[in-house]
Amino acid sequence: MIQVDQLTKIYDDLSRGQFVAVDRVSFTVNRGEIFGLLGPNGAGKTTVLRILSTVLAPTSGHATVAGYDVVSDPASVRKSIGFVSNNTAIYDRMTAHELVSYFGRLHGMTSKELKPRVDLLFDQLRMNEFRDVPGGKMSTGMKQKVSIARAMVHDPPVLVFDEATLGLDVLVARNLLEVIRALRESGKCLIFSTHIMSEVQRLCDRIAIMHQGRILDIGTLDDLQARHQQDEFEELFFGLLSRFESEDENSWNQKISFDVNAPRSGGAAS
Amino acid sequence: MTTRSDSQSRRRPETEKPRFSAIRLIYIREMKDQLRDRRTLFTIALLPIMLYPLVGTLLLQIAQFTREHKTSICLIGSEHIQSAPPLVRDGSFVEPYSELANNLELQVRGMESLEENDTFASATERWIQDGTYDAVIIFPPEISADSDRSDEPIASIKLLYNVASDESQIALNRVTAILAKWKENWVSETLAASGIDTEQLEPFELQDIDLAPERTREAAFWSKMLPFIMLVWAMTGAFYPAIDLVAGEKERGTLETLLCSPALRSEIVWGKLGAVASFSMLTAVLNAGSMLVTSAFVFQQIGIAGSTVGAPPVVPMLWLFVALVPLSCLFSALALAVAAMARSSKEGQYYLMPLMMVTLPLVMLPMLPGMNLTAGTSLIPVTGMFLLVRSLVEGQFTEALLHLPMVFGMTAACLWLAVTWAKRQFENEAVLFGGQDQWEFSMWVRHLWRDRQPVATIPQAYACGAIILVALFFGRLAASGAPNDLAGLTKMIISPQLGLILAPALLMSVMLTTSIRTSLRIRLPHKLSIPMAIGLGISLHPIYLTLGKWIEYTYPVSEEAQRAMLPFVEQVASIQWQYVVFLMAFIPAICEELAFRGFIFAGLVRQGGRLRAVLVTALLFGISHGFLQQSIAASCMGVLLGWIALRTGSVLPCILLHFTNNALSVSLSRIADLNLPAFQLILTNTEQGPVYQPLWFLACMGMTILFVFYFAVLRSPVDESNLVEYFPQQDKLPDTTNAEAG
């Protein structure tokens, strides 16, 4: 469903010069799978996901979503993707219902298709009580639900959640994770990025650990634990980060080429 | 501000056509969103509807107040004018002066009451200063008319007033009028007494008749005032929604939501542009309408007698819509493009101020006296449209119709450029997701040095152009008059060329780029393009001269300027031919081309900026020529030079073309003076100087087409608009990514 190959993004930055935000990142995500991107702040997760949602263009490398190339066919990519991020806010002066319908209409849905779909989403996400509340008056949890409904209104095969639990209270965050699990059951392809390890552990089928623009390792939780001989996930994560920072760059390059191929054989099985 | 990496920061333009339904959807949403905002409603609707009637009421009250305010005058020494024709009696002016003394409070004081006081002068001055009287008239004792005045100096009546006070000024005017009339009567009485017929003193009478139809007379004031007010409001009305719809949405995070929706960038731009333009027009119409209604009422009430300002004619003002729609769209597109650079609403306001500063003069220009719709003014953006509407309002339809194509052509071109700019802003990552980091001078200098590239960056190219223009401006200010010898002339021509045009470009090239040759575009072009450039220079010259003549006809050079140029022209004519060619063709061709078609062009052409590079360098090149007529011709030439620079990928053909053109211009009269039989087929000497033969002109047109065709099919050896090759970090990446990038 999603194929990312040697994706690189370089910014011109005043203080750091040419700053490599994403450095030769490769991974694949399959249908019915939740793929977790785990990394500290500034690891490049958001940049990767922004490239996938075609908001940013890559400096080099390729990415396809549902078979469409993000560079050459961005419009088709946007039609098959739903993007929820803490950067994608909702309009203050629009009610929940208006907003979801608006994005449905932008997707080219007719009123006939739109009405049952919006009703279904509002039921599923339990949003009916604030159907006519304008965005400015909603709580963070309500806003997040509206964002999810907005991203799902056209029933896309791929859904991307970028730090989606940020700022949510425990109850709402838990609800969100349930929604995401339910989406996997219906065969969607999901990417979930976060810096919270427990969420990844509970939710994701496969995990990619990102740091300083690189993917340090990819695999199922069991794979990772076996490969690094470390049962404690938190220890594993920090160990990987500190080893990356101390080791020579070249040895990591070889490691990456090895790691990228590994999940392709084992990933779908999980 | 952080800028994104060069090679990829702009995504490739979308190939899909914008869908009308999506544009409408976005437009309706933005309109609803703005209308739900109380602040917007207040500024665009409530404020104009309330503001003008309130101001009108205030005006009416002030008018009543001023009518009731009396002017107080003190008259001292009336006892000295007993023998003169009567002026005052019983503390007021007598007939016929009393009609001029309406609303005037007069106090007559005797001289003797004050003369005992040694501070007479200070007392009267104090009266004026503390406002006891608005004016004081003092008749000195010498004025007594019965004395024989033939050998005495003329007695002076003193009028004390205070220029800083409006009341005092008014008092002065009124008193002067009364005294003038009194003097007139005195003179005629004296003349009559000595037996002269006073009738003869007035050989004629003036009677002025205004032939302007009533409609025009009324429209004259309003056709200047109302479009101005309307356009200023159209501008203001575009700014705030533009800031809110782009910078505000960026700040609130809703822009990214829209960007990752299936709406195309072009659909977003058109939708938002429509909304901004609607608000711009709405603001303008509501303001102008409210003002029109209020002022019609106020003028009816006040009824200023003898004033040319009447109540505004309402129906002809409907013509204003002809200008409002395109100009609102133009302002909106500009505001949208500029607002896109801001990261927050607050920043947006800072960015829009300079835009206002640039557009305001174009709106004010038509207000200047003597500005009329001509071929020249019709080509000035905004101003032309303004003048067109003025002639429509005043009912001069033939004149308006004559200039209509030019005005609309110019406006359409500006509109297209502005919309293209706005669309490009929305395709530019650096603009939409510009960095959040702090700017610091030392960090910036380090960044300039550390991240040098083989050619200038776009901001550096713009900076170079700005430096050259500013340096030239001050250089011209500092230049002292016409030179009187050869050395002076040489200095006058060479120093700005080398010091103010070439030096900035060369310095920036050395300090800010890694390769002088690449950054100045010194490359070997295709071999054939060298003779072709020279050929084009020769064949184009007659056309260039014709263009120059047309420009001089449309925008005539003032006689003053011509006179100022004369010593310069004469001096040039007296120097040896080779030296003139060196000074006026060789030096400018090298300096100007290396700066404009070299350094600046190389920077601007990056990131797919072919059109930008050609147009901006042409404009800079034009402006650098100092005065209007030359600037226009040079800008046209600049477009061609830029196009050649683009096609050949090198600055050398441009230098040759530029040199050939200049060399021909300075040597034409000398060639004609040679009277060689071979040249007589090409040139003839006329009173206005040498002129190309018509047959040669035609041949040149044909040749030009051929040469242009050659350059059109030429393939540039380098693609400068796609500068992946210059990326220093690319060599660190694997080979595969290098090949795929782009």
Residue B721 has pLDDT above 60, yes or no: yes
Beta strands at A214-219 and B71-76: parallel, antiparallel or unpaired = unpaired
ipTM here: 0.86
Residues 201-260 of chain A whose Cβ lies under 8 A from any Cβ of chain B = none
- Supply the range of the domain harboring residue B95: 70-185
Task: Output the pLDDT for position B481.
Answer: 66
In whole angstroms, give the CA distance from residue B63 to residue B547.
Answer: 56
- Tell me the pLDDT tens digit for each residue of B129-157: 888 888 888 888 777 655 555 555 677 88
Task: Enumerate residues 25 to 44 of chain B having a beta carbon within 8 A of any beta carbon in chain A.
Answer: 25-26, 29, 32-33, 36-37
Backbone angles phi, psi at B106, to 5 degrees: -115, 135
Domain ranges of chain A: 2-80+185-269
How many inter-chain contacts (A to B, CB under 8 Å) are there?
A: 133
Cβ separation of B451 and A6 shorter than 8 Å?
no
B737–A105 CB contact, under 8 Å = no
B512 occurs within a structural domain = yes
**B66: helix, strand or coil:** helix
Question: CB-based contact (8 Å) between A31 and chain B?
Answer: no
Q: Each residue of A90-115: b (16+ CB within 10 Å) or e?
A: bbbebbbbbbbbbbbbbbebeeeebe
Q: Look up the pTM and report it.
A: 0.72
For residue range B204-214, list pLDDT tens digits in order: 888 877 776 66
Q: Does B244 touch chain A (CB under 8 A)?
A: no
Number of domains, chain B: 3
pLDDT at A223 over 60: yes
Q: Are residues B482 and B415 in the same domain?
A: no
Q: Are residues B123 and B237 in the same domain?
A: no
Position B405 pLDDT exceeds 60: yes
The residue among A79, A88, A111, A166 with the most chain B CBs within 10 A of its CB, best to mutate, is A88
Q: What percent of chain B has pLDDT over 90?
A: 18
Indicate the pLDDT class of residue B309, thresholds 50, 70 and 90: low
Q: Which CB contacts under 8 angstroms, 24+ apart, belong to B347-354?
A: B347/B247, B348/B242, B348/B243, B348/B246, B348/B247, B348/B248, B349/B243, B352/B239, B352/B242, B352/B243
Helices marked H in B194-308: 214-242, 249-252, 254-259, 265-302
Beta strands in B24-134 (DSSP E): 71-76, 88-89, 92-93, 104-109
Give yes or no: residues B515 and B533 share one domain.
yes
- Determine the Cα–Cα distance for residues B328 and B524; give it in Å rounded to an integer: 47
- What are the distances in angstroms from CA A64 to CA A51, A77, B268? 10, 8, 24
> pLDDT tier at B114 (50, 70, 90 boundaries)?
low
Quick one: average pLDDT of B229-237?
87
Are β-strands B135-138 and B158-160 bridged in parallel, bridged antiparallel, or unpaired?
A: antiparallel
**pLDDT at residue number B429:** 80
Most confident of B115-119, B309-313, B714-718: B714-718
Q: Are A88 and B11 a contacting pair at CB < 8 A?
A: no
Contact B447, A14 (CB under 8 A): yes
Q: Residue B618 in 3-state DSSP?
A: helix
CB contact under 8 A, A102 and B25: yes
**pLDDT the model gives residue A96:** 93
Contacts of A106 (CB under 8 A, 6+ apart): B22, B25, B26, B261, B262, B263
Residue predicted with more confidence, B638 or B670: B638
d(CA A213, CA B729): 15
CA-CA-CA-CA torsion for B566, B569, B574, B576, nearest 10 degrees? Answer: 170
A111 touches chain B (CB under 8 A): no
Q: What is the mean pLDDT of residues B604-628?
A: 87
B264 occurs within a structural domain: yes
Q: Which residues in chain B have Cβ-Cβ distances shorter than 8 Å to A92?
A: 252
Task: Look at residue B526 in the predicted model and tell me its pLDDT.
Answer: 85
Residues B357 and B496 in one domain: no
CA distance B700 to B674: 22
Which site among B30, B259, B261 would you substitute to test the A interface, given the most A Cβ atoms closer than 10 Å to its Cβ?
B261
User: Does B573 reside within a domain?
Assistant: yes
For chain A, say whether B739 makes contact (Cβ under 8 Å): no
Residue among A249, A71, A202 at smallest CA distance from B12: A71
Helix (H, G, I), strand (E, B) or coil at B5: coil
One-character DSSP codes across B535-546:
HHHHHHHHHHHH
In a domain, B693, yes or no: yes
8 Å CB contact between A259 and A218:
yes
Asked if B33 and A78 come within 8 Å (Cβ–Cβ), the reply is: no
E strand or H helix that includes residue A63: strand A60-65
pLDDT of residue A262: 41
Residue of A nearest to B16 (CA): A75
Nearest 5 degrees, angle CA B643-CA B649-CA B653?
70
Rounded-to-integer distance, Cα A182 and Cα A196, Å: 20
Question: Looking at the predicted structure, is the pLDDT value of residue B585 above 60?
Answer: yes
Give the end of a domain, one of B385, B413, B432.
B432
Distance separating alpha carbons of residues A100 and A152, to the nearest angstrom = 9
B455 in Cβ contact with B519 (< 8 Å): yes
Are both B424 and B446 inside the same structural domain?
Answer: no
B526 and B406 share one domain: no
As a whole number, mean pLDDT of residues B306-334 equals 78
Same domain, B226 and B373: yes
DSSP H or E segment with residue B55? helix B47-68
* Minimum CA–CA partner of A13 in chain B: B2
Which of B8, B36, B736 is nearest residue A59 as measured by Cβ atoms?
B8
If you average pLDDT over residues B295-302, what whole number do you get?
A: 73
Query: Does residue B552 sit in the same domain as residue B693?
Result: yes
Residue B328 structure tokens: 């609102």
Contact indicator for A155, A105 with CB cutoff of 8 Å? no
- So what's the pLDDT on residue B586? 92
**Structure confidence by residue, pLDDT tens digits, B671-700:** 777 777 777 777 777 777 778 888 888 899
CA end-to-end distance (rounded Å), chain B: 24
- Give the rounded percent of residues in chain A with a pLDDT score beyond 70: 90
Residues of A in contact with B26 (CB under 8 A): 106
Query: Which residue, among A59, A66, A65, has the nearest Cα to A44 in the 3D structure?
Result: A59
Q: Are residues B163 and B104 in the same domain?
A: yes
Residue A228, C-beta contacts closer than 8 angstroms, at least 6 positions apart: A217, A236, A239, A240
Q: Distance between CA A1 and CA A29 in Å, rounded? A: 6
Of B577-581, B624-628, B673-677, minimum mean pLDDT range: B673-677
- Look at residue B339 and tell me if it is in a domain: yes
Q: Does A131 touch chain B (CB under 8 A)?
A: no
Put the strands of the sheet holding A2-13 in their side by side order. Answer: A17-29, A2-13, A60-65, A68-69
Tracing tokens 């953006």 back to the chain, one arrives at B381
What band does B415 get if pLDDT is binned at 50, 70 and 90?
Answer: very high
B368: amino acid identity, one letter: L
Q: How many CB atoms lie within 10 A of CB B620?
A: 25
pLDDT band at residue A126 using 50, 70 and 90 as cut-offs = confident
Which pLDDT value is given to residue B639?
94
Is residue B641 a part of any domain in this protein? yes
pLDDT digits (tens, 9 = 90+) for A66-98: 999 998 888 889 989 999 887 778 899 999 999
pLDDT score for A232 = 83
Q: Name the token pair of A78.
A: 């946007």
Of B595, B569, B516, which is closest to residue B587 (Cα–Cα)? Answer: B595
Q: Does A80 touch chain B (CB under 8 A)?
A: no
Does B150 contact chain A (CB < 8 Å)?
no
Contact B156, B140 (CB under 8 A): yes
The single-letter code of the amino acid at B274 is G
Confidence class for position B736, pLDDT limits 50, 70, 90 = very low
Other beta carbons less than 10 A from residue B24's beta carbon: 15
Residue B197 inside a domain? The answer is: no
Whether residue B575 sits in one domain with residue B451: yes
- Please name the residue of chain B whose CA is at the shortest distance from the CA of residue A15: B443
Q: What is the DSSP letter of B246?
A: I
Q: How far is A242 from chain B (nearest CA, A)?
A: 23
Domain shared by B528 and B677, yes or no: yes
- Give the end of a domain, one of B143, B164, B185: B185
Mind telling me how many Å the CA of A18 is from chain B's nearest CA?
7
Max mean pLDDT range (B1-15, B71-85, B450-464, B715-729): B450-464
For the domain that residue B117 is a member of, what is the CATH number? 3.40.190
CB A70 within 8 A of CB A63: yes
Per the DSSP assignment, residues forming a β-bridge with B136 are B74, B160
Which residue in chain B has the smallest CA separation from A70? Answer: B11
Residue with tokens 């060069």: B6
Round to whole Å and give the CA distance between A193 and A160.
Answer: 8
% of chain B with per-residue pLDDT over 70: 87
Under 8 Å between Cβ of B155 and B142: yes
Residues B223 and B168 in one domain: no
- Name the CATH topology of A2-80+185-269: Rossmann fold (3.40.50)
Higher pLDDT, B476 or B601: B601
